[in-house]
Amino acid sequence: MAVPSIGRVKNLFRFRSPLRGPWLTSVFGAVLLACLPLVVLTGLLDFVAYGPGQHLPADVGWLHLPLFDWPTRPSWLFRLTQGLHVGLGLVLVPVVLAKLWSVIPKLFAWPPVRSVAHALERLSLLLLVGSVLFEIVTGVLNIQYDYVFGFSFYTGHYFGAWVFIASFVTHVALKLPTMIRSLRRRAPAIPRAKEPAPLTMSRRGLLGTVGGGALLVGLLTAGQTVGGPLRDLAFLLPRGTEPGEGANRYPINKTAAAAGVVVREDWRLTVTGVTGRTFTRDELLALPQHMARLPIACVEGWSTVQTWTGVRLRDLAALAGVPEPASAFVSSLEQGPFAQATLNHGQTTDPDALLALRVNGADLSLDHGFPARIIVPALPGVHCTKWVRALDFRSA
């Protein structure tokens, strides 16, 4: 068996590409400096929308953002914030990797620590690189529904974000002057490698490859929100739709079979508040019906706009003796994490907040939540509970 010589192994770590240099690092750095704050900001907004109170362990409750009630208008608000967070986050992955590639030799620099200040700088780098990779990996796995990591995605991704924010701010404060200087000098010719190898690709070719990679990811992602023919290209979107061309043909997050939901003939909706009563589906259909064109926007980045018909939540609240509901507690036939959701005041009283029974002029399909589901403007898809079993309206 051929054993690689020590010399060869050493060569591997010499990183001799002449393309690596302060200018290239600064170009990627400038792109990330311009775009990553938007990914962070939309991510934090999504966390507010999602309602961290329902998901963070109680002992870290102090980490909740200064919460405001997530609004219902504009109805595409969550579609925008979540689409930007996931879409831009994915598009930037090639740039993050290219920037890491451009500074690899520094990670193996010798001696590893020269002074206290240098040690602190390296520690912040470790946290920066670690957290950005952590956010990418957990984010992408979440889109693919792969929870190999064994901890709550929301908690992990949220804490990872704070580590990233702290180390990103430190890094920018330390490196901004260098970045500006390198970009001004426009002297890409200073390579980082001590013994640069001959060029195998032009600098323009490298920038083109990274930019092209980002564009390609964008193309493969955009369809999950934009829809249309691009939807078929959105291969980073693993959601299937129902077959055929029917009214219910739009992405399904989880099928009834996968959710283990069986809807029995004697299904009744239980509505409670001050008084309580149950409704058959026909009784619900006999109540005033309201139609609204609203998106479902998933926390995983995909979204779809459909035309829903059903009963206004505030009409149901009034029937339960709560004309001014402060919140609604929704229960599903499904067990597990989707069994319950809480809607705030605005999400309960908005004129377009519906218990939807029909979509695009047809009954909801079983996979889309038949007999009834929640649809509320700007509500994260995850709270648009399917297979609703009960609604409880609270006045305070």
- List 382, 384, 388, 391, residue binding Mo ion (CB under 5 A): 382
Residue of 268, 296, 290, 277 lying closest to 393 (CA atoms): 277
Q: Which two tokens stand for residue 196?
A: 């640069």
Query: Which entry of ligand MTE, Mo ion, none binds 386, CB below 5 to 8 A by partner kind?
Result: ligand MTE
How many alpha carbons lie under 13 Å from residue 287 in its C-beta half-sphere? 22
Distance CA 11, CA 4 (A): 11
Contact 112, 105 (CB under 8 A): no
22 binds, among ligand MTE, Mo ion, none (CB under 5 to 8 A by kind): none
Choosing among Mo ion, ligand MTE, none, which partner's interface includes residue 217 (Cβ < 5 to 8 Å by kind)? none
* Nearer to ligand MTE (CB atom), residue 90 or residue 297: 297
CB of 254 to ligand MTE, least distance (A): 4
In the region spanning residues 228 to 257, those forming contacts with Mo ion, defined by CB under 5 A, are 253
**Residue of 191, 223, 295, 381 interacting with ligand MTE (CB under 6 A):** 381
Q: H or E element: which one contains 271?
A: strand 269-272
* CA angle at 39 for the pair 34 and 42, rounded to the nearest 5°: 125
Are the CB atoms for 255 and 375 separated by under 8 Å? Answer: no
What residues between 289 and 308 interact with Mo ion by CB under 5 A? Answer: 298
* Closest CB 338 distance from ligand MTE, rounded Å: 4
CB of 283 to ligand MTE, least distance (A): 22
Strands 373-375 and 340-343: unpaired
CB-nearer residue toward ligand MTE: 32 or 49: 49
Site residues for ligand MTE, window 281-300 (CB under 6 A)? 296, 298
What is the phi/psi pair of residue 284, to 5°? -65, -40
> Judged by CB under 6 A, does residue 386 bind ligand MTE?
yes
| One of 84, 259, 311, 353 touching ligand MTE (CB under 6 A) | 259
What does the DSSP 8-state code read for residue 5? P
Centre a 10 Å sphere on the Cβ of residue 345 and count the other Cβ atoms it contains. 15
Of 385, 389, 392, 393, which lies in the binding site for ligand MTE, with binding defined by CB under 6 A? 385
CA separation for the pair 131, 159 (Å, rounded): 9
Which chain residues interact with ligand MTE by CB under 6 A?
Answer: 251-254, 259, 296, 298, 332, 334, 338, 368-369, 381-382, 384-387
Which chain residues interact with Mo ion by CB under 5 A?
Answer: 253, 298, 381-382
